[in-house]
Amino acid sequence: MSEKASIQEIERDIVEEFALFDSWDDKYEYIIDLGKKLPPLEEQYKTDVNKVRGCQSTVWLVSDYREGKVFYKAESDAMIIKGLISMLIRVLSGHSPDEIIEARLDFIQEIGMTSHLAQTRSNGLLAMVKQMKNFALVYKLKYAAA
Amino acid sequence: MIEAATISTSLDVHAIREQFPVLTRKVKGRPLVYLDNAATSQKPQAVIDAIVHYYSHYNANIHRGIHTLAEEATAAFEETRDAVQHFLNAASREEIIFTRGATEGINLVAYAWGRKNIHAGDEIIISTMEHHSNIVPWQVLCQEKGASLKVIPINDLGELMLDEYEKLLGPKTRLVSIVHVSNALGTLNPVGKIISLAHQAGALVLVDGAQSSVHLDIDVRALDCDFFVFSSHKIYGPTGVGVLYGKRELLDSMAIFQGGGEMIKEVSFEKTTFNDLPYKFEAGTPNIADTIALKTALDFVEQTGKEKIRKHEASLLAYATDQLEQLPGLKIIGTAREKISVISFVIEHIHPQDLGILLDNRGIAVRTGHHCAEPLMRRFGIPGTTRASLAMYNTKEEIDELISGLQKAINMLS
C-alpha cells in the first residue's frame, strides 16, 4: 500500500509538470483543462457564507474533516481560477491541519503564477489559500482540544 | 493647399504614437495594446518632460516665497488654472479649484456645499449608471442629514429614462449629480436637458466629467452646470490632480473643505478669516509638479484637435463594435444611440476575468469587472463586463489584435 504523497511531493510534481510547457498559452490551456475537469460543487454549498472574499470572480469553498484530515471542495464561475483551485485542492486536500497550516506553497511562485497574474487577481488566489489554511486552523483548534 | 487641408482634417496616429513612450513597450513578448484608457490614459513625452523640468529647474513652494524659483513655480501653477478656465470656458479663473481628482471634487461639494444646504427630507438625484465616486459621497451625506437619494433608471440600451427623471424632480430636489459619459457603457447623457429641467425645479447640478472631458468640448457656461469635475490622468495628464469647477457665487457661499495653510487670510487662536477663491479650497501645499504638467496635457489635446480625436475614436468605436458583434455569443452592454469611446461586452458562458487574463497574455490591456459601478451591473443582471476603451493613439490594427485575442480566448475556454 502506497503512502499518500506529502504536500511538498505534490508541489514538486506540479512544478515538474509545468516545466514541460514551452509557452504561457500551453500553461493556460492546461489550467483551463483542470478547471473544466473540476467536479461541480453541489448547489446547496453555493451560498454567501461559503464565498471567498477578495476575488474578482466568485469562489465558493467548503471543507470537511475526517480521521484527522481536511478535505476541500470548491468551485468558481471563472475557468482559470477553477483550474488554480483544482491545483490547490490537489496539493492540500487529504492532509492534516498541521501539514496544511505549515505548507509553504512555493509551487505557486515556481510555476510563475504570482508574477504572471496581476496583483489584483493573485490576491484572489492568495485569498483562497488563506481561507483554506483558516479552515485547517479551525479544525486543529477544535479537535486538538478534544 | 488642398493637400494641406486634407491632412489637417484627419489624425496622424503614427505621429501621435511616437509621442507616447510607453506604447513602444512589449508585454508578454508582444507589442502592448493599451485599451484601458477609461481607467487612465497614457502620457505623452511632453507631459513627462514637464514634470522632470519642474523638479530639475524650479521646484519651490508656491504663493508665499519671494525668491525666483517660487515666483516661477507659482506662475507655472497659476498658468494651469488659466488653461483650465479656457478649457472649460469658465467665466473666471477663481472658479477653478484644484483637487486630487474627480472623486475629491465630488467629495468637496458633498462636504462644503452639502453639509450646509442639505437638510432632513431633501432629495438628491443621481442615476443608475453612476461610478461609485458619484454614489457614496451622496449616500453618506443623505444618511447624515436624513435626506434621500433618488435614482434615475435606464433602459436596456443603457440610456437614461428622461421621463422618469422628470417624475423624480420636485420641490424637495436640491441637487442632481450626474455622469456626463458613463465609464462602463460609454453612454453620452443629455446633460444640457438634464440641467435645464433641474434648474426649472430649483435644483443645482453637478456634472461628473471624468470620462467626457477628454473627448468632448466642454463649455460650462453653455451647459449652465453649477459644478463640473474632471481628472487630469484621464486626459493624458499626470495622476493626483483634478479640477472642480463651480459657479463663483456658489463657491463663495460654501463652507470650507479642509483647513490649513494657503486657504487662510489671517489666523489668530480666536479667529481665522479665510482666503478668497480659489485658494479657500486649496489648503496645504498642492501637487505642484503634476498641476503644472496638466497644462502641458491640455495643450497637447488642444494642439492635436479634439474634433480630429473624436472622429478618429468614433471610427474606431464603429469598427470595434462591428467586429465584436460577429463573435459568437458576444453581447455588447451599452448600446446607447449617443455613445463615446467605450465598449463593454459579455460573452456567453465565459467569465470576464478569464478573458482579461488571456488577453493580457497577448499584451492586450482591457478592464474586466464591475468598473466601480456595481448597481449598474445589477441592473443588467451581470457580475461584470470586459471593457475596451479607446484613446487618440489606438489603431484599427489594435482592434484586430483584440478580436483575434478574443477568438483565441473563446477557443481555449469553450
Using pLDDT thresholds of 50, 70 and 90, give the confidence band for residue B260: confident
Q: Which residues of A touch B384 (CB under 8 A)?
A: 56
Query: Do B28 and B54 belong together in one domain?
Result: no
Q: Is the pLDDT of residue B5 over 80?
A: no
- Counting residues of chain B whose pLDDT is more than 90, the rounded percentage is 89
Residue from B348, B349, B357 whose CB has the most chain A CBs within 10 Å, to mutate: B357
Q: Is the pLDDT of residue B262 over 90?
A: no
Query: Do B149 and B183 belong together in one domain?
Result: yes
Query: Do B147 and B256 belong together in one domain?
Result: yes
Q: Which domains does chain A have, with CATH numbers?
A: 7-145 (3.90.1010.10)
Query: Do B93 and B166 belong together in one domain?
Result: yes
Neighbours of B22 (CB within 10 A): 13
Look up the CATH number of the domain holding residue B356. Answer: 3.90.1150.10
Q: Do A56 and B353 touch (CB under 8 A)?
A: yes
Give the model confidence (pLDDT) of B370-392 as tens digits. 888 889 999 999 989 999 999 99
Mean pLDDT, residues B38-62 taken together: 97
β-strands B264-267, B272-274: how paired? antiparallel
Task: Look at A14-18, A48-52, B62-66, B218-222 and tell me which has the smallest mean pLDDT.
Answer: B62-66
Q: Do B354 and A80 touch (CB under 8 A)?
A: yes
Structure confidence at residue B4 (pLDDT): 45
Query: Do B124 and B198 belong together in one domain?
Result: yes
Q: Which residues of B touch A81 (CB under 8 A)?
A: 353
Query: Do B235 and B130 belong together in one domain?
Result: yes
Structure confidence at residue B272 (pLDDT): 85
**A114 to chain B, closest Cα gap in Å:** 13
Average pLDDT, rounded, for chain A = 89
Query: Do B116 and B131 belong together in one domain?
Result: yes
Cis peptide before B31 (omega within 30 of 0): no
More reliable by pLDDT, B241 or B5 = B241
Taking an 8 Å Cβ-Cβ cutoff, which residues of chain B contact chain A? 28, 350-351, 353-354, 356-358, 360-361, 368-369, 383-384, 412-413
**A53 to chain B, closest Cα gap in Å:** 15
Pick from B230, B263, B233: nearest CA to B47: B233
Structure confidence at residue A122 (pLDDT): 54
Query: Do B86 and B21 belong together in one domain?
Result: no
CA distances from B155 to A125, B31, B333 (A): 37, 39, 12
**A12 to chain B, closest Cα gap in Å:** 25
Rounded distance between C-alpha atoms, residue A52 and residue A49, angstroms: 8
Query: Do B111 and B28 belong together in one domain?
Result: no
* Single pTM value for the model: 0.92
Structure confidence at residue A127 (pLDDT): 84
Domain that includes residue B401, residue range: 2-43+305-413
DSSP conformation letters of B230-297? EEGGGGTS-TT-EEEEE-HHHHHHSPPSS-SSSSEEEE-SS-EEEPPTTGGG--S---HHHHHHHHHH
Mean pLDDT, residues B54-74 taken together: 94
- B140-174 burial, b for 16+ CB within 10 Å, e for fewer? ebbeebebeebbbebeeebbbeeeebeebbeebbb
Neighbouring residues of A119: CB distance < 8 A, sequence distance ≥ 6: none
Using pLDDT thresholds of 50, 70 and 90, give the confidence band for residue A125: confident
Q: Is the pLDDT of residue B185 over 80?
A: yes
Neighbours of A17 (CB within 10 A): 14
Q: Is the pLDDT of residue A121 over 80?
A: no
Structure confidence at residue A124 (pLDDT): 74
Q: Is the pLDDT of residue A3 over 90?
A: no
Average pLDDT, rounded, for chain B = 95
Neighbours of A22 (CB within 10 A): 7
Query: Minimal Cα distance from A28: which residue of B?
Result: B358
Query: Do B244 and B294 belong together in one domain?
Result: yes
Look up the CATH number of the domain holding residue B109. Answer: 3.40.640.10
Residue from A24, A46, A51 whose CB has the most chain B CBs within 10 Å, to mutate: A24
Neighbouring residues of B261: CB distance < 8 A, sequence distance ≥ 6: B283, B284, B285
Listed residues B244, B276, B302: the one ending a domain: B302
The answer to whether residues B300 and B46 touch, using CB atoms and an 8 Å cutoff, is yes
Q: What is the ipTM of this complex?
A: 0.89
Structure confidence at residue B264 (pLDDT): 83
Query: Do B139 and B87 belong together in one domain?
Result: yes
DSSP conformation letters of B347-390? ETTB-HHHHHHHHHTTTEE-EEE-TT-HHHHHHHT-S-EEEEE-
**B220 to chain A, closest Cα gap in Å:** 37
Q: Do A79 and B361 touch (CB under 8 A)?
A: no
CA distances from B366 to B3, B78, B129, B131 (A): 37, 36, 20, 18
Listed residues B261, B279, B302: the one ending a domain: B302
Using pLDDT thresholds of 50, 70 and 90, give the confidence band for residue B2: very low
For chain A, how far is it from start to end, CA to CA, in angstroms?
Answer: 30
The answer to whether residues B332 and B324 touch, using CB atoms and an 8 Å cutoff, is yes
Q: Is the pLDDT of residue A56 over 80?
A: no
The answer to whether residues B26 and B363 touch, using CB atoms and an 8 Å cutoff, is yes
Structure confidence at residue B6 (pLDDT): 45
Query: Minimal Cα distance from B369: which residue of A?
Result: A56
Query: Do B292 and B375 belong together in one domain?
Result: no
Residues of A with a known catalytic role: 55
Rounded distance between C-alpha atoms, residue B108 and residue A96, angstroms: 54
Listed residues B262, B286, B302: the one ending a domain: B302
Structure confidence at residue A116 (pLDDT): 55
Structure confidence at residue B355 (pLDDT): 95
Which one of B353, B357, B412 has the shortest CB-CB distance to A29? B412
Mean pLDDT, residues B233-249 taken together: 98
Structure confidence at residue B174 (pLDDT): 98
β-strands B330-333, B272-274: how paired? unpaired
Using pLDDT thresholds of 50, 70 and 90, give the confidence band for residue B403: very high
Nearest 5°: phi and psi at A66?
A: -135, 130
Positive or negative CA dihedral for A80, A82, A86, A88?
positive
Query: Minimal Cα distance from A83: which residue of B?
Result: B354
Task: Look at A70-74, B4-8, B339-343 and tell me which has the smallest mean pLDDT.
Answer: B4-8
What amino acid is encoded at B211 in this protein? Q
Mean pLDDT, residues B296-325 taken together: 97
Please work out, in degrees rounded to the nearest 5, the angle formed at the alpha carbon of residue B165 by the alpha carbons of B161 and B168.
145
Domain count, chain B: 2
Using pLDDT thresholds of 50, 70 and 90, give the confidence band for residue B354: very high
Q: Is the pLDDT of residue B8 over 60?
A: no
Query: Minimal Cα distance from A24: which residue of B?
Result: B361
Q: Is the pLDDT of residue A80 over 50?
A: yes
What amino acid is encoded at B31 in this protein? P
